Chain A
Amino acid sequence: MSETQDPSHDVVKAATEEQVPTEVIGQKHGMFGVQGTGDTSGYGGLVRNVELPGASTPPYDDGGWMDDVATALAAASQEAGIDTAVEKVVVHRGEITFFVRREDLVAMVRLLRDDEKLRFEFCSSVSGVHYPGDAGRELHAVYHLLSMTHNRRIRLEVTAPDSDPHIPSVCATYPTADWHERETFDFFGIVFDGHPALTRIQMPDDWPGHPQRKDYPLGGIPVEYKGGTVPPPDQRRSYN
C-alpha cells in the first residue's frame, strides 16, 4: 500500500474474513482521469495495487469436497505421470480454481472427466481473460467444469504469454468446448492447438484484431447534444 492511498477508499472487509494472500499484477494511478494542474483534489496522485487472490494451501475446506477433489486429482495425476500439472490452487469465495500448466491440460481434463472420484463430465464454458499486467501470463483461458455425479463445480485456469498465445484444445474430451474455444480465439486471439476448425465465430471472418483484449479500444463516436459533446464511453473521464 502506498502512503498516498486514502484509506476511506479501501474495500470494506468483513471482520470475520481471514486475510487471504494476494498476488499483485499491476498498479492503478489516479482516481478519475485527472492529472497534473487540473487535479485540484489531489486524487490524481493515488496509487493502488491490483491484487488478485493468491495461492491457497491445503486443507482447502477442512476435509470437505474441495479437499476430496484435490486429493483425488493429485493421486490420479501421479498415476498418469503429470504430478506437476497443477501450478497452484486458489480458493476464494467458496470456489476452487486449479491453475494448470498448459502442456498438461489435455491429459488433465481427461483425468477430470474419466476418474471415478472426479467425474467432471460437463464442461460449462471456456472463457478468456486478458491481464495485460500479468507479465508472461497475459492470456488466461478459464474452464468451468461441473460434476453432475458428485454435484461439484471447479474452475481450471490456464495461462499463456502474449508472445506465444497457444493453449491445447480440450475438444477431444469435451466436444462442447468447440464453439467456446472459437469464441475465445475470436475475442482474445488464444490459439487452441488441435481444435478441429478454429475460425472466428462472432466477428466477421476478415475482422482485424481480437476485440476483448484490453488493448483493443471499445470504439464509438462523440455525440453532440444541445451544444455539448459527449465523448464515447472509453474516452470519458471515469473512475478507475
Chain B
Amino acid sequence: MTADPYAATESETTQGKVYTVTGQDWDSVVTGIAEDHDDKVVVNMGPQHPSTHGVLRLILELEGETVTEARCGIGYLHTGIEKNMEFRSWTQGVTFCTRMDYLSPFYNEATYVLGVERLLDIEDQIPEKAQVMRVLLMELNRISSHLVCIATGGMEIGALTVMTIGFRERELVLDLFELITGLRMNHAFIRPGGVAQDLPAGALDEIRDFVALMKKRLPEYADLCNANPIFKARLVDVGHLDLAGCLALGMSGPVLRSTGYPWDLRKAQPYSGYEDYEFDVCTWDTADAYGRFRVRLAEMWESLKIVEQCVERLAGLEGAPVMVGDKKIAWPSQLAIGSDGMGNSLDHIKHIMGESMEALIHHFKLVTEGFRVPAGQAYVPVESPRGELGAHVVSDGGTKPFRAHFRDPSFTNLQATSVMSEGGQVADVIVAIASIDPVMGGVDR
C-alpha cells in the first residue's frame, strides 16, 4: 500500500496528544480522552466545515461541552483583490471588488464607485435614473443576502425547511439580477458615472410580480420561526453582545441594531438619494441571535417598500440617461441584448467602425486607457446587509487606483466571535457566528 502523500502527519506537541478525526474514527478520540483523564480539549473546526459559514477556521478550547476560548483563523479565501485593483483601470476595478462579498455584490460596487465619483467630483452629476437603479438593485440585493443568512443559519441548526424556502426566494431575486444585469452574481454593473446599461423591457413588470409574490412568501418565515419553540430555544439569549460591546468592537448592521440602537447609514448619512425614500430602521432590544434574525426579517419588508418606490419612480423615467453626461468619463456605449445574450451594441460598433474615426479613437482611449482621477482619498461607506461597508479609495492622479482598501463588515464583525461564544456551548458557537452572518469572500478579500 502506498502512503497517502496528503495524509496528516503525526503531529508533535508539547501540550497533549493530537487526534486527527475525519468523520469516522471518533472512538479513538473518546477512548484517548478517557485514558488521559483530560477535560480540556482544543478542537480545530474548519476551515472546511459545513457549519462555519464558509472557509472559516475556529479554534475552540472546550471543557466538556463548554467553550472556554474561541479564536478565528481567517485568510483561506484571500485572493489579493485590493492588490489586483492597483493594476487595472478605475472602471475595471468594479469587476474585482464585486467578487469580494459575493452575497452582496452591488454594495461592494456601490461603495467603491461612490468613492471614485467623490474624487472625480461628479457626485452631483449622476443621473437620477442611475441613482434609482442603484437603490433598486441594492435593496433587492439586501433581500437576497438576508435570505441566504436566514437560510444557511437555519440549515446550521437543522431547520432545513427554512433553508429550502430561503434559497427558493433568493433564486427569484437572482432571476431579476440576471434579467437586469445579465449575471446572477459578480455583476460589475454599477460603474463610475452611473450604471452599465438601461433597464431591459419588461423589467418593471417582473419586479412588480416579484414584490407581490414576496408579500405572500415573507410571512412564511415568520410562521416557521418567530414563535417556534425549538428555533427560539436555539437562538434566544445566544451570542449576546450589548451596545457598548458593539461600539468597542466596531459592530454595525443588524448586530448593532439588535441592541436597540437605530443606526443605519441610509438614514444617518444618506447616499444615492436614500433621503427620498420612505422606510423605517428596524431594531430589536434583546441583543442576541434571535433579535438579529428578527431585524433581518423586518428589514426585508422595508426593502420591499423601497423597491416599490423605486419601481414607481423608474416608471416615470423611461428613456432617461443612466450614465453621467461627461464623455471623458462615461463608458462610450451601452451593451445591447442580441439573440445570443448580452453583448456589444451593434449600432455602436457600426458607428465607430464605419462612420466616425473620432468616435473610434475616443472609444479606444477610454476603454484601454480609462480616465484619470484627481489625486486624493475618499471614503464613502454604505449600509450593506452586514453593516458599514466602505472603500478607502486613494488616487495619485493616474488611470488606476493607487490603493483601494475595503472596510468589510464581515471582517470587523467576526472579531466578536470570542465574546459572543465563550462560556456557551459548542452548539451555540454555530448560532452566534450565523447571527453575525460573515461572508468569507468579504472577510478575506
**A125:B119 contact, CB within 8 angstroms:** no
Over the window 391-405 of chain B, the binary record of Cβ atoms lying under 8 Å from chain A Cβ atoms (1 yes, 0 no) is: 010101111101101
**A234:B121 contact, CB within 8 angstroms:** no
**A129:B415 contact, CB within 8 angstroms:** no
Give the distance to chain B from A167, nearest Cβ to Cβ, in Å: 16
**B87:A127 contact, CB within 8 angstroms:** no
- Asked if B374 CB lies within 8 Å of chain A CBs, one says yes
Cα separation A92 to B377 with both chains bound (whole Å): 8
Chain A residues near B273: list those with CB within 8 A: none
Cα separation A128 to B377 with both chains bound (whole Å): 12
Cα separation A218 to B369 with both chains bound (whole Å): 20
Nearest-CB residue, chain A, relative to B122: A14
Chain A residues near B373: list those with CB within 8 A: 11
- Asked if B331 CB lies within 8 Å of chain A CBs, one says no
- Asked if A53 CB lies within 8 Å of chain B CBs, one says yes
- Give the contacting residue for B376; candidates A14, A53, A130; CB below 8 A: A53
Chain B stretch 392-445: residues in CB contact (< 8 A) with chain A: 392, 394, 396-400, 402-403, 405, 407, 411-412, 414-415, 444-445
- Asked if A45 CB lies within 8 Å of chain B CBs, one says no
- Asked if B388 CB lies within 8 Å of chain A CBs, one says yes
- Asked if A46 CB lies within 8 Å of chain B CBs, one says no
Over the window 44-55 of chain B, the binary record of Cβ atoms lying under 8 Å from chain A Cβ atoms (1 yes, 0 no) is: 000000000000
- Asked if B112 CB lies within 8 Å of chain A CBs, one says no
Give the distance to chain A from B231, nearest Cβ to Cβ, in Å: 30
Give the distance to chain A from B256, nearest Cβ to Cβ, in Å: 9
- Asked if B328 CB lies within 8 Å of chain A CBs, one says yes
**A127:B398 contact, CB within 8 angstroms:** no
Cα separation A115 to B392 with both chains bound (whole Å): 26
- Asked if B260 CB lies within 8 Å of chain A CBs, one says no
- Give the contacting residue for B372; candidates A9, A148, A176; CB below 8 A: A9
Chain A stretch 54-108: residues in CB contact (< 8 A) with chain B: 92-95, 97
Give the distance to chain B from A217, nearest Cβ to Cβ, in Å: 10
Give the distance to chain B from A101, nearest Cβ to Cβ, in Å: 20
**A95:B379 contact, CB within 8 angstroms:** yes
Q: Of the 9-residue stretches A34-42, A158-166, A201-209, which lies at the interface with chain B? A: A201-209
- Asked if B390 CB lies within 8 Å of chain A CBs, one says yes
Interface residues on A, range: 35 or more
Q: Of the 9-residue stretches B219-227, B246-254, B312-320, which lies at the interface with chain A? A: B246-254
**A17:B399 contact, CB within 8 angstroms:** no
Cα separation A56 to B445 with both chains bound (whole Å): 34
Nearest-CB residue, chain B, relative to A173: B248
Indicate whether A233 sits within 8 Å of B369 (C-beta atoms), given known contacts A127-B407, A202-B444. Answer: no
**A95:B388 contact, CB within 8 angstroms:** no
Give the distance to chain B from A114, nearest Cβ to Cβ, in Å: 13
Cα separation A32 to B369 with both chains bound (whole Å): 9
**A50:B375 contact, CB within 8 angstroms:** yes
- Give the contacting residue for B248; candidates A93, A127, A175; CB below 8 A: A175
Nearest-CB residue, chain A, relative to B403: A129
**A153:B379 contact, CB within 8 angstroms:** yes
**B415:A178 contact, CB within 8 angstroms:** yes
23 contacts between A and B (CB under 8 A): A11-B397, A26-B396, A28-B398, A50-B396, A52-B376, A53-B376, A93-B121, A122-B250, A123-B250, A124-B388, A125-B390, A129-B405, A142-B377, A142-B392, A148-B268, A176-B412, A204-B75, A212-B82, A218-B84, A218-B87, A239-B368, A239-B369, A240-B398
Which residues of B are in contact with A by a Cβ distance under 8 Å? Answer: 74-75, 78, 80, 82-84, 86-88, 118-119, 121, 247-252, 263, 268-269, 328, 368-370, 372-379, 381, 388, 390, 392, 394, 396-400, 402-403, 405, 407, 411-412, 414-415, 444-445
Which residues of A are in contact with B by a Cβ distance under 8 Å? Answer: 9, 11-14, 17, 22, 25-26, 28, 32, 48, 50-53, 92-95, 97, 121-125, 127-130, 142, 144, 146, 148, 151, 153, 155, 174-176, 178-180, 183, 200-204, 211-212, 218, 233-234, 238-240
